[in-house]
Amino acid sequence: MERRRILCAVSGGIAAYKTPELVRGLVRSGFDVRCAITASAARFVAPLALETVSGHRVRADLFDRAEEGEIDHIALADWAELVVVAPATANLLARMAIGMADDLVTTLLLATRAPLLVAPAMNVNMWRHPATRGNVEVLGRRGVRFIGPESGALACGWEGEGRMAEPARIVAEVTLALGPRTLAGERVVVTAGGTREPVDPVRSLTNRSSGKMGFAIAAEAARRGAEVVLVAGPSALPTPPGIRRIDVQTALEMRDAVLGEWPSARIVVMAAAVADFRPADRALQKIKKEDLPEGAAPSIALVRNPDILAEISALPRDGRVVVGFAAESHDVLDSARRKLERKGCDLIVANDISREQGGFDSDRNAVAFVWPGGPVEELALLPKTEVAAQLWDRIEKRLGALPRDAGAEPSAGASR
């Protein structure tokens, strides 16, 4: 498949030392990346580093006949499907805002018709200066998209807004901007992670689910253009770009969130490991051993949690697709088949948590897709991102087989 083409423009800020990492991340994500740098940028980042990670000669000089001979600046501006400016200095933002074309980078930025994604980086006072604020506003009105800057300790010694967005975040934004839009217009709900059922104010019953699988599924749906709501149990994972996240703790909270989103969803993927049981009573104060007879331990009575997957699968489906997950330690496929029948969902993704590799907290997973009527597709051990892509390929096929107008209320469109 032809690689999508990205021009990375680099200006002269200290954050330019991160640009080779950004370019490497973009190349690893399958993009064809060419770099153009300002004269100041060449003081901060070695062109050779960018050349090595991009696999292309770095362009720096508008008037260099040899450089122009390879691909002239207008051809380069036309070649780009997206231009990423990272870092963008205060100086470059000013030059862009007034439409200057006094070096190669500004000339390219003026000549290109590709969308611009700009990652500013500068001292906090430069960022807050009314001149910079005005330039950002002008560029925003022109359709330029900004990513960051982020807050934190700055290289200049100040603290505050001005750090360039992390390369991984920029890569995710680019992927989102240029990915296939096969789920555009669809509204998706994904649950992820475990739930945490409180015993008292300091203790809880939980499980080992990290949420990585569900987050990968949500990220992939957003990348394909869906409007995604991620209902997440306690997790330190960052929210993938373009996603609305609802954080929950308990199975009951997760149920409320899912039922609340159900009416407007077309696809629901229940990847969360929801606790089957919760303590019957939650102690309002910490249970202390000093309050118990010497040597005694309290017993915790459990009650069943609602079965969210069964509950939503029993609702009128109206063209919706419901996918469940089954994490099993034995009789994996049989258990998954029984679960599929019992719950009445459209697909069960089964994974064997007894395997040494894959499963909880791993970056990889070996799953099987279990379909109604018996067919099973077993996948090899794959990165969870790839499992997510394979799952969406299957769901898209299934959606294609369903009448498009049946189902959820039409979405108002993605909110990003």
Q: How big is the chain by its Cα radius of gyration, in Å? A: 25
Is residue 61 within the footprint of ligand FMN (CB under 6 A)? no
Q: In the complex with ligand FMN, which residue's Cβ is closer, 85 or 336? A: 85
Stretch of residues binding ligand FMN (CB under 6 A), selected from 83-91, 140-148, 337-345, 399-407? 83-91
At closest approach, how far in Å is the CB of 43 from ligand FMN?
Answer: 7
Q: In the complex with ligand FMN, which residue's Cβ is closer, 120 or 233? A: 120
3-state secondary structure of 193: coil
What one-letter code names the amino acid at 37?
I
Q: Which residues have a Cβ under 8 Å from the Cβ of 12 and sit 6 or more positions away? A: 38, 39, 40, 41, 42, 43, 44, 89, 91
Is residue 402 within the footprint of ligand FMN (CB under 6 A)? no
Residue choice 5, 29, 40, 115 for contact with ligand FMN (CB under 6 A) = 40
What span, in angstroms and rounded, lies between the C-alpha atoms of 118 and 146?
Answer: 5
Q: Of 8, 35, 156, 345, which is the active-site residue? A: 156
Catalytic, 8? Answer no
What span, in angstroms and rounded, lies between the C-alpha atoms of 49 and 46?
Answer: 5
Q: In the complex with ligand FMN, which residue's Cβ is closer, 40 or 411? A: 40
User: Could you give the string, one character per residue 121-160, with x where binding to ligand FMN holds by CB under 6 A and - elsewhere?
Assistant: xx---x----------------------------------
Q: In the complex with ligand FMN, which residue's Cβ is closer, 77 or 345? A: 77
What span, in angstroms and rounded, lies between the C-alpha atoms of 50 and 289?
Answer: 62
* Of residues 8-37, those binding ligand FMN (CB under 6 A): 11-15
Could you identify the residue written with the tokens 């470059």? 92
User: End-to-end CA distance of the chain, in Å?
Assistant: 28
Is residue 58 within the footprint of ligand FMN (CB under 6 A)? no
* H/E stretch holding 310: helix 308-313
Q: In the complex with ligand FMN, which residue's Cβ is closer, 124 or 199? A: 124
Classify residue 55 by its DSSP letter.
Answer: S
What one-letter code names the amino acid at 111?
A
Q: What are phi and psi of 275, to 5 degrees?
A: -60, 135
At closest approach, how far in Å is the CB of 161 from ligand FMN?
Answer: 12
Instruction: Tell me which residues are annotated as active site.
Output: 156
The footprint of ligand FMN (CB under 6 A) covers: 11-15, 38, 40-41, 89-92, 121-122, 126
